[in-house]
Chain A
Amino acid sequence: MTTNTPAVDVQTPPTAPPRENYLNCSKGFKSWALTLDHKRIGLMYLVGVSIAFLAGGLFALLVRLHLWEPEGMLFSNIEYNQIFTLHGAFMVFLFVIPAIPGSLGNVVMPLMVGAKDVALPKLNLLSFYLWLAGAVLAVLAIVLGGFDTGWTFYAPYSLYTDRAVVTIGLAIFILGFSSIFTGLNFIVTVHKLRAPGMTWFRMPLFVWAIYATAILQVLATPVLGITVLLVAFERLYNIGIFDPRLGGDPVLFEHFFWFYSHPAVYIMVLPAFGIISELVSVHSRKPLFGYKLIAFSSIAIAVISFLVWGHHMFTSGQSTYAMFAFSFLTFFVAIPTAIKEFSWVATVWKGSVALNSPMLYTLAFLVIFAIGGLTGVILGALNVDLHLHDTYFVVAHFHYVMMGSIALAFFAGLHHWWPKMFGVMYNEFQAKIACALIFIGFNGTFLPQFVMGSRGMPRRYATYVPEYAPYHQASTIGAMVLGAGVALMVFYLIASLFQRKRAKENQWGGVTLDWVAPTPPPHLNFDVEPKVVHEVYDYSTLDYDSMQRDCK
């Protein structure tokens, strides 16, 4: 089964005029702004979420710079509150939630199931414009006075502060519908548009992951929608539901918020799992270990994630018995998650591992996610959480999952499918340097935060006692290294579009349908309608000659 065919260098064939593909099949602003092509919509998402990520990253660097000195270096306390809120809200709502499904999911998922497009292309375009409207409103909220509530908008502070909470609430409501429509579209696509022969258990695991994510997007996001709507009503005409002065209950807000926002964590992380599942197999040149288990564990995580929201509220005064249940169920999530982690490691084991940049990002993910996942179990333990609640330990755990795992998986997927999307290759050497900088910088930023968190440093404070200064300074230096790595990555990826060094027709030797399609794919994805006859990840079927050709 395992094919260890060494990569063969063959002569590059003479250059031919570029064939028609989705990038050059039509020109002009309208051909992009009104496109119904899932690949173009995916690229527009990619540009959008990347800008949001860079903005959010800039806010993060400002936060870290401010914390260089115990009394704070840059901002007043109020300004600091706004900056960290902006960082959180931009990263969560504008980047992490839409990033992978919106960009890579849109481009790759229909290719993987062998469809010509997503099931509802107009709704897909609407999703993107809703995202854009949400982003514009979020920027408008900054102009209208900003918001200083943290990304969680906890009542009653979010009801009383004089900042632009209604505007950002509206932005989140609209972004929520963008996310719902993307999820809805993907569910219908997976159910109805699979190519002949593409059975459920021949679907690549990225599709399974996107499918599980879509279920969560559809079922959890409406509750966030009604929650921010109620906060807006509360601020506009004092209905009193969350306001304790009027008989309301702020803890009810927390229940509503986390009923969405815990599943939302899996909306963010499941697509990342999907990318890693693809990449460990392709770059180890081995069928995935435990394909069905990984597929089912995505669904299991999606189901269990609806039952654990109370673990964010162990100090809120909810019932003790509820806390037992929430803590127990939280441990339960660790089982399907560990199944994935071990299956990935077992896939790499004795594989023919190609240490190219997508694989380096993948290996970095495997290390970082192991730490991020295990510290989650620590926080899920009731008595430990009472000590660690709202400390930097939580911040570090959260970032090990959100930034270290999800953003790194996003980068891995971006490097993996970049030649597919654009038909060009980036500079591999620079990519490896950037990956190393990001890995070192990331751990440098957040490992010290575990230590200072366990020693009692509370999150979200603008100042701190001098004893914590070494940890904060180490963390700030790490953040600068991380920032340098990301800047290098942005540089060589953009440069690759201008250098136009042609990618191979099948750059990494993938066997899923996204690599069967021409590079870059034509407007309708495939020259002939694909029929699937092989099991998924069957590398014995790979045609190495066609793989080595330069794409046109």
Chain B
Amino acid sequence: MSHDDHHAVVIPAPGPEFVPHTVAHHFSTPVQEFQAGKLGFWLFLATEILLFGGLFAAYFYFHEMFPETFRVGGQQLDWRLGALNTSVLLLSSWTMAMGVRSAQTSQKSKTMIYLTLTVLGAVGFMVIKFIEYKAKNEHGLIVFGSLFDGYDGATGQLAWFKDYHGVMADVPHGHMFFAIYLTMTAIHGLHVIIGAIAIIYVMRGTAKGRYHAGYYLPVDLVGLYWHLVDLIWIFLFPLLYLVP
């Protein structure tokens, strides 16, 4: 006996290019299924915010402890690249919202175009991020090749923080800003990549005609996730690049 073959509720497809949706057996109505998915996903987003909440708490704590380090450290970042990345993400949030709207109105090809543009936004963000990381690597502020080589107890030197030009020489614990910067942006970047994969997954379902006015929950949820990824960056950008 499989799990799904009991008096199933079926939502008909709005056209020949779509497939009908079968409501999972333990829900009585499509609305119940939709609301359960939505509530569950909002709770998941809350856990994401709390996960980043720990990192933000660490940021504020060390900003308070070493204000000079964070002032000089922030100046080493290129705010123009940061602003460009912010624009890219904001734009991709708009294309994502349009993608969700197109799915809700059963416009398959439009959904595909908007979702593709959103994935391009994700790729663009990561390329710009890579350019930034590369510059930090060249200045020895984050030496990626030595990231896992640890701490030399004899010299008191970190392997990944060399500061070739001595820009952080006059402030206490100059590596601290870049440790926080790297941890926060890397975990955020990981979320961008996961978000892009999730969008590609719903693009596959869209191509098969699974999402339409009667059933668009997965597109909706991936959209929410993408907006959260965007929202977290909206906080990261001013804190890391602009706050003196």
- A residues with a Cβ closer than 8 A to B are 25-26, 36-37, 115-121, 123, 180, 184-185, 187-188, 191-193, 218-223, 225-227, 229-230, 233, 236-241, 243, 245-249, 252, 256, 523-524
Q: Is the CB of B179 within 8 A of A192?
A: no
CA distance A191 to B39 in the complex (A): 9
Which residues on B sit within 8 Å (CB–CB) of A249? 61, 65
Residues in A with CB closer than 8 Å to B24 are 121
A-B contact pairs, 22 of them (CB 8 A): A117-B26, A184-B40, A184-B47, A187-B40, A188-B36, A192-B32, A193-B32, A218-B43, A219-B47, A225-B51, A226-B52, A230-B54, A238-B158, A238-B160, A241-B62, A241-B183, A245-B156, A246-B151, A246-B173, A246-B176, A248-B176, A523-B1
Q: Is the CB of A241 within 8 A of B58?
A: yes
The 6 A-B pairs of least Cβ separation, nearest first, read: A247-B173, A226-B54, A239-B179, A222-B50, A116-B26, A117-B26
Chain B residue at minimal CB-CB distance from A110: B26
What per-residue 1/0 map shows which CB atoms of B127-155 lie under 8 Å from chain A? 00000000000000000000110110000
Asked if B35 is at the interface (CB within 8 A of a chain A CB), the reply is yes
By a CB distance below 8 angstroms, the chain A residues around B201 are: none
Contact of B36 among A25, A116, A192 (CB under 8 A): A192
**With the chains together, A239 CA to B180 CA distance in Å?**
8
- Do B39 and A240 touch across chains, with their CB atoms under 8 A apart? no
Give the residue name and chain of the B residue nearest to A252 (CB): B61
Interface residues on B, range: 35 or more
Once A188-B43, A238-B150, A240-B176 are accepted as A-B contacts, the answer to whether A256 and B54 lie under 8 Å apart by CB is yes
Chain B residues numbered 47-101 whose CB sits less than 8 Å from any CB in chain A: 47-48, 50-55, 57-58, 61-62, 65-66
The 8 Å CB contact of A187, one of B37, B43, B160, B175, is: B43
Task: State how many angstroms separate the Cβ of B33 from the closest Cβ of chain A.
Answer: 9
Q: Choose among A25, A184, A193, A238 the residue with the greatest number of B CB atoms under 10 Å from its CB.
A: A238
* Chain B neighbourhood of A185, CB < 8 A: 40
Q: A121-B3, A246-B175 are in contact. Are A237 and B36 (CB under 8 A)?
A: no
Partner of A193 from the list B36, B44, B148, B151 (CB cut-off 8 Å) is B36
B29 to chain A: closest CB distance in Å?
A: 10
Which applies to chain B's interface (DSSP): helix, strand, loop or mixed? helix
Partner of A240, one of B36, B40, B148, B179: B179
Q: A115-B26, A221-B47, A247-B172 are in contact. Are A227 and B54 (CB under 8 A)?
A: yes
Instruction: Please give, as numbers and ranges, the residues of chain B lying within 8 Å of A184 by CB-CB distance.
Output: 40, 43-44, 47
- Considering only CB atoms, which chain A residue lies closest to B178 in the complex? A239
A223 x B39 contact (CB < 8 A): no
Given known contacts A239-B183, A524-B6, A218 and B36 CB-to-CB distance under 8 angstroms: no
A239 CB contacts on chain B under 8 angstroms:
179-180, 182-183
Give Cα distance in the complex from A223 to B6, angstroms.
41
B167: Cβ under 8 A from any A Cβ: no
Contacts A240-B173, A246-B176, A247-B172 known; A188 to B61 CB distance under 8 Å? no
Cβ of B204 under 8 Å from chain A: no
Complex: A115 Cα to B37 Cα, angstroms:
16
> Could you say which residues of chain B place their CB within 8 Å of the CB of A121?
3, 24, 26
Nearest chain-B residue to A234 (Cβ)? Answer: B179
Residue of A nearest to B62 (CB): A241
CB within 8 Å for A223 and B151 given contacts A230-B183, A524-B6: no
Q: Is B25 on the interface with A (CB-CB < 8 A)?
A: yes
Q: Please name the residue on chain B nearest to A224 by beta carbon.
A: B54
Contact A247 B65 (CB under 8 A): yes
With A120-B40, A123-B40, A218-B43 as contacts: A25 and B1 at CB distance below 8 Å: yes
Question: Which of these, B1, B3, B61, B148, contacts A237 with CB under 8 Å?
Answer: B148
B54 with A223: CB separation less than 8 A:
yes
- Please report the C-alpha to C-alpha distance between residue A356 and residue B40 in the assembled complex, in whole angstroms: 40
Q: What 15 additional pairs, Cβ within 8 angstroms, besides A193-B26, A223-B53, A229-B187?
A: A37-B3, A121-B26, A184-B40, A218-B46, A221-B47, A222-B47, A236-B147, A237-B150, A238-B159, A239-B180, A239-B182, A239-B183, A241-B58, A241-B62, A241-B179
Residues on A with C-beta less than 8 A from B48 are: 222
Q: Which residues of B contact A119 (CB under 8 A)?
A: 26, 36, 40
Alpha-carbon separation in the docked complex, A230 to B183 (Å): 9
Alpha-carbon distance A36/B53, docked complex (angstroms): 33
Q: B51 and A223: CB pair below 8 A? A: yes
Report the bound CA distance from A192 to B50 in whole Å: 24
Looking at the assembled complex, report how far the CB atom of B198 sits from the nearest CB atom of chain A, in whole angstroms: 15
Determine the residue in chain A with the shortest Cβ distance to B52: A226
Q: A121-B3, A226-B54, A227-B54 are in contact. Are A246 and B26 (CB under 8 A)?
A: no
Please name all residues of chain A whose beta carbon is closer than 8 Å to the beta carbon of B50 when the two chains form the complex: 219-220, 222-223
From the candidates A36, A230, A245, name the one contacting B151 in the complex (CB within 8 A): A245
Q: Report Cα–Cα, A117/B4, bound state, in Å.
A: 12
Q: Tell me which of A117, A220, A241 has the highest count of chain B C-beta atoms within 10 A of its own C-beta.
A: A241
Report B158 CB to chain A, min CB distance, Å. 6
Within 8 Å CB of A36, what residues of B? 3
Q: Known: A236-B148, A239-B179. Contact between A252 and B43, CB under 8 A?
A: no
Q: Complex formed: what's the CA distance from A227 to B151 in Å?
A: 21
**Residue in B35, B43, B55, B65 whose Cβ sees the most chain A Cβ within 10 Å:** B43
- Say yes or no: B39 contacts A187, CB within 8 Å: yes
- In the assembly, what is the distance between CA of A180 and CA of B57, in Å? 21
Residue of B nearest to A237 (CB): B147
Asked if A230 and B58 make an inter-chain contact with CB atoms under 8 angstroms apart, the answer reads: yes
**Closest CB in chain A relative to B207 CB, distance in Å:** 22
Which of B40, B43, B66, B151 contacts A247, CB < 8 Å? B66
